[in-house]
Amino acid sequence: MCKPIPLPMWKLSKNQDFYLQFSQYTNPGLYGDVLKKTLPDDVREIGLLVRKQLIHRMTLKNGNTGSNKDLRYGDMTKIPWYRQPEDDVFVTASAMLAELYRRDPKGHFG
Q: What is the DSSP string of 15-62?
A: HHHHHTS--TTT--GGGHHHHHHHS-S-HHHHHHHHHHH---HHHHHH
State the Cα–Cα distance between residues 85 and 10, nearest whole angstrom: 42
Overall pTM > 0.85: no
Question: What are 57-99's pLDDT values in tens digits?
Answer: 888 889 899 988 998 888 889 988 888 778 888 899 899 889 8
